[in-house]
Structure 1
Amino acid sequence: MSTELTRDQLLHAYKVMRTIRAFEERLHTEFATGEIPGFVHLYAGEEASAAGVMAHLDDLDCIASTHRGHGHCIAKGVDVYGMMAEIYGKKTGVCGGKGGSMHIADLDKGMLGANGIVGAGAPLAAGAALAAKLKGNGRVAVVFFGDGGSNEGAVFEAMNLASIMNLPCLFIAENNGYAEATASKWSVACDHIADRAVGFGMPGVTVDGFDFFAVHEAAGEAVKRARAGEGPTLIEVKLSRYYGHFEGDAQTYRAPDEVKNIRETRDCLMQFRERTTRAGQLTTAQLDEIDQQVDKTIEDAVRRAKADPKPTAADLLTDVYVEYAA
Structure 2
Amino acid sequence: MSEPTPAPAAATTPAALYRAMRLIRCFEEQALALVRSGEIVGGIHPYIGQEAVAVGVCAALDPADQLTSTHRGHGHVLAKGADPRRLLAELMGRQTGLNQGRGGSMHAADLGLGILGANGIVGAGAPIAAGAAWAARRQGSGRVVVSFFGDGALNQGVLLETLNLAALWRLPVVFVCENNGYATTLAVDSGVAGSAQGRAAAFGIPAERVDGMDPAAVHAATARAVARARADGGPTLLECRTYRFEGHHTMERRIRVRYRSAAEIEAWRARDPLERTGALLPAARRTELDAEVAELIAEAVAFARSSPHPDPAEALRHLYADGLRPRSGSAVEVLR
Q: TM-score, normalised by structure 2?
A: 0.90
Partner residue of 2:196?
Answer: 193
Write the distance in 1 (CA, Å) between the matches of 2:197 and 2:146: 15
Partner residue of 1:204?
Answer: 207
Write the distance in 2 (CA, Å) between the matches of 1:33 and 1:94: 22
Which stretches in structure 2 are left out of the alignment for 5+ residues? 1-6, 324-336
Write the distance in 1 (CA, Å) between the matches of 2:190 and 2:64: 38
Partner residue of 2:330?
Answer: none
For residues 168-196 of structure 1, what are the alpha-carbon distances to aligned partners after superposition, in whole Å with 9 as ceiling and x for unaligned?
00100000000001000111112x41222
Q: 2:232 aligned with 1:233, yes or no?
A: no
Write the distance in 1 (CA, Å) between the matches of 2:117 and 2:243: 22
Q: Which one of the candidate residues 97, 122, 125 is aligned to 2:126?
A: 122
Following superposition of structure 1 onto structure 2, how do residues 94-113 of structure 1 map, counting pairs within 5 Å?
94-113=98-117
Write the distance in 2 (CA, Å) between the matches of 1:184 and 1:91: 39
- Offset at 1:81? 0.3
For residues 4-43 of structure 1, what are the alpha-carbon distances to aligned partners after superposition, in whole Å with 9 as ceiling and x for unaligned?
9845641322211110000011111221112211231010
Write the distance in 1 (CA, Å) between the matches of 2:10 and 2:120: 37
Following superposition of structure 1 onto structure 2, how do residues 12-27 of structure 1 map, counting pairs within 5 Å?
12-27=16-31
Q: Helix, strand or coil for the counterpart of 1:252? A: coil
Task: Classify 1:202/1:285 alpha carbon distance in 2 versus 1 (closer, same or farther; 3 Å).
Answer: same
Instruction: Judge conservation of contact 2:56–2:216 (CA < 8 Å) in 1.
Output: yes
Partner residue of 1:261?
Answer: 267
Write the distance in 1 (CA, Å) between the matches of 2:285 and 2:317: 45
Instruction: Judge conservation of contact 2:11–2:59 (CA < 8 Å) in 1.
Output: no
Q: 2:315 aligned with 1:311, yes or no?
A: no
Partner residue of 2:217?
Answer: 214
- Offset at 1:323? 5.6
For residues 187-243 of structure 1, what are the alpha-carbon distances to aligned partners after superposition, in whole Å with 9 as ceiling and x for unaligned?
1112x4122211011101111111111111110100000000000001000000011
Q: 2:276 aligned with 1:271, yes or no?
A: yes
% same residue: 46
Instruction: Judge conservation of contact 2:210–2:217 (CA < 8 Å) in 1.
Output: yes
Partner residue of 2:295?
Answer: 296
* Count of residues in correspondence between the two structures: 313
Write the distance in 2 (CA, Å) between the matches of 1:139 and 1:131: 9
Q: Helix, strand or coil for the counterpart of 1:235? A: strand
Instruction: Judge conservation of contact 2:72–2:106 (CA < 8 Å) in 1.
Output: yes
Q: Helix, strand or coil for the counterpart of 1:67? A: coil
- Offset at 1:299? 1.5
> Higher mean Cα deviation, 304-313 or 212-221?
304-313
For residues 33-58 of structure 1, what are the alpha-carbon distances to aligned partners after superposition, in whole Å with 9 as ceiling and x for unaligned?
12211231010100000011101113
Instruction: Judge conservation of contact 1:83–1:93 (CA < 8 Å) in 2.
Output: yes
Partner residue of 2:46?
Answer: 42
Write the distance in 1 (CA, Å) between the matches of 2:208 and 2:11: 28
Runs of 4+ off more than 3 Å: 4-9, 321-324
Q: Helix, strand or coil for the counterpart of 1:304? A: helix
> Higher mean Cα deviation, 199-208 or 246-255?
246-255
Write the distance in 2 (CA, Å) between the matches of 1:94 and 1:230: 34
Q: Which one of the candidate residues 57, 60, 63 is aligned to 2:67?
A: 63
AA partner of residue 134 (structure 2): L
- Offset at 1:60? 1.4
Write the distance in 1 (CA, Å) between the matches of 2:10 and 2:79: 18
Q: TM-score, normalised by structure 1?
A: 0.92
Partner residue of 2:328?
Answer: none
Write the distance in 1 (CA, Å) between the matches of 2:257 and 2:49: 15
AA partner of residue 313 (structure 2): A
Q: 2:255 aligned with 1:252, yes or no?
A: no
Following superposition of structure 1 onto structure 2, how do residues 80-159 of structure 1 map, counting pairs within 5 Å?
80-159=84-163
Instruction: Judge conservation of contact 2:70–2:119 (CA < 8 Å) in 1.
Output: yes
Instruction: Judge conservation of contact 1:196–1:204 (CA < 8 Å) in 2.
Output: no
Write the distance in 2 (CA, Å) between the matches of 1:176 and 1:285: 32
Instruction: Judge conservation of contact 2:35–2:43 (CA < 8 Å) in 1.
Output: no
Which stretches in structure 1 are left out of the alignment for 5+ residues? 278-282
Write the distance in 1 (CA, Å) between the matches of 2:52 and 2:204: 27
- Offset at 1:165? 0.2
AA partner of residue 156 (structure 1): L
For residues 129-161 of structure 1, what are the alpha-carbon distances to aligned partners after superposition, in whole Å with 9 as ceiling and x for unaligned?
000100011000110000101110111011100
Partner residue of 1:280?
Answer: none
